[in-house]
Amino acid sequence: MTQACRHCGNALTRQFLDLGFAPPSNAYLAAEDLFAPEVTYPLRLMVCETCFLVQTQDYADAGSLFDKDYAYFSSTSKSWLAHAAAYADMISQRLNLTGASHVVEVASNDGYLLKNFVEAGIPCLGIEPTASTAGAARTLSIPVEQAFFGQRLADSLSAAGKSADLIVGNNVYAHVPDINDFTNGLAGLLKPEGVITLEFPHLMRLVEFCQFDTVYHEHFSYLSFGTVVRLFDAAGLRIFDVEELATHGGSLRIYGCLKASGHEETPAVIGLLTEEKRRGMETAAYYAGFQRRAEEVKNRFLAFILKARRDGKTIAGYGAAAKGNTLLNFSGVRPDLLPFVCDAALSKQGKFLPGSHIPVLPPETLKDHRPDYLIILPWNIADEIGRQNAELAEKGTQFVTFIPETRVLGDPA
């Protein structure tokens, strides 16, 4: 299959990663769905050797991935709520946001972030395509435009007097199939001196720490800083600041504005561009060998589970997260090897993981079963999950993560 790059249009010929076939990672199943056919798609990444945008091969469309049953609610994670509150406080002070300002969040989910601006008396608007999360946000008195974001919607909002002093996009930039249209929409919705902040996982960290489990169909793009600079430039925007964050295994927060804006560029911009160039991120060699590294992690994961079973140990999983589904499906793990996964999200409990068909149970289940090993699938919040389950550790359960390497936390009682 030959595909054109989503940004520059050049043909994609270099494969970066092939994880086989998998269903959409957030397509959780009800009990009755287990007896019906399940749709899977190839899960492959290609790298454009012109603009170096890493992207999935085209198979699944956004409408089927982010439907009315989309089960990801941002407010499930307390650490993410704290991250959002800290950001809202910081950016309000940095930009001097007041009751006369207007904040727009693209992919506002369940209101996890905008509720902080509502509480501060700063007018805001959420843009969110999924009905379940948009409805949750409205219960917090957050106005929501239920739609996918792009240039047409931006032009409509701007014409209605809803241009933004601040546009926020947390973990959405990688999720849009038409990244040029999305970026043009950001430019079209911005006031002359307005600011855009986007947070997204950094491709440099994905490669460095072999975070292949962050690859799933809902992520259409995998972004280096240099590529995002080019994306912004093509839309009449420029990036004037960047921060490296620990979230999601290593993310970037970029600060963008219109090219004619007065925001001054910080040294961090050239600093990160220089670091990416030093690492060779715009060379084909940088992307070679990643497939082998991913397969090594898969093999270690399977070897651990099989040995534990041979030794008579009990195993459970924690976190019905998209990244966990990627790992489980790539590894071919089913309920015979991992009998259940616990998750705090009510929207996932009582359902089954896509592909593996592993049941999702409430966290309270662990108190009765007390497994020897608890495999933490969302390794990026392993510390938070460990604190929540400290009682298990005290009784001998060991917590295990597998990316970037196998880590067994805690000693048996």
Are the beta carbons of 398 and 371 closer than 8 angstroms? no
First vs last C-alpha separation in the chain: 54
Supply the DSSP string of 113-136, one letter for each residue: THHHHHHTT--EEEE---HHHHHH
| The dihedral formed by the CA atoms of 30, 34, 38 and 42, expressed in degrees to the nearest 10 | 90
Q: Can 74-287 and 291-409 be said to share one CATH topology? A: yes
How large is the average pLDDT for residues 95-119? 96
What CATH topology corresponds to 74-287? Rossmann fold (3.40.50)
Q: What is the pLDDT of residues 297-310, one digit of tens each?
A: 999 999 999 999 99
Are the beta carbons of 370 and 395 closer than 8 angstroms? yes
Q: Spell out the residues 6+ positions from residue 221 whose beta carbon is closer than 8 angstroms to its own.
A: 6, 53, 54, 55, 56, 173, 174, 176, 179
Q: Any idea how long the chain is?
A: 413
In this structure, how many other beta carbons lie within 10 angstroms of the beta carbon of residue 174? 20
What CATH topology corresponds to 291-409? Rossmann fold (3.40.50)
* pLDDT given at position 380: 87
* pLDDT given at position 1: 57
Q: What is the pLDDT of residues 19-43, one digit of tens each?
A: 999 999 989 999 999 999 999 999 9
How large is the average pLDDT for residues 341-359? 95
* pLDDT given at position 271: 98
Where do the domains of the chain lie?
A: 74-287, 291-409
Q: Can you tell me the distance from the alpha carbon of 199 to that of 223, in angstroms, rounded to the nearest whole number?
A: 11
Between 91 and 57, the higher pLDDT residue? 91
Is pLDDT at 190 greater than 50 in this prediction?
yes
Q: What is the pLDDT of residues 258-301, one digit of tens each?
A: 999 999 999 999 999 999 999 999 999 999 999 999 999 999 99
* pLDDT given at position 80: 85
Is pLDDT at 65 greater than 60 in this prediction?
no
* pLDDT given at position 359: 98
- For 328, phi then psi, to 5°, come to -65, -45
Q: Spell out the residues 6+ positions from residue 50 whose beta carbon is closer than 8 angstroms to its own.
A: 5, 8, 10
Look up residue 338 and give its amino acid.
L
- For 127, phi then psi, to 5°, come to -120, 115
Q: Spell out the residues 6+ positions from residue 381 whose beta carbon is closer than 8 angstroms to its own.
A: 77, 79, 80, 319
Between 410 and 355, the higher pLDDT residue? 355
* pLDDT given at position 26: 87
Confidence category of residue 404, pLDDT binned at 50, 70, 90: confident
Longest dimension (CA), the chain: 66
H helix runs in 176-289, sequence order: 179-189, 203-208, 225-234, 267-279
How large is the average pLDDT for residues 79-95? 95
Record the pTM. 0.90
Are the beta carbons of 364 and 388 closer than 8 angstroms? no
Is pLDDT at 411 greater than 80 in this prediction?
no
Q: Can you tell me the distance from the alpha carbon of 266 to that of 85, in angstroms, rounded to the nearest whole number?
A: 24
How large is the average pLDDT for residues 116-139? 94
* pLDDT given at position 79: 82
User: What tokens were used for 43?
Assistant: 């899960």
Q: Can you tell me the distance from the alpha carbon of 280 to that of 276, in angstroms, rounded to the nearest whole number?
A: 6
Confidence category of residue 412, pLDDT binned at 50, 70, 90: very low
Confidence category of residue 233, pLDDT binned at 50, 70, 90: very high
* pLDDT given at position 280: 97
Angle at which helix 290-310 crosses helix 322-331, to 10 degrees, equals: 80
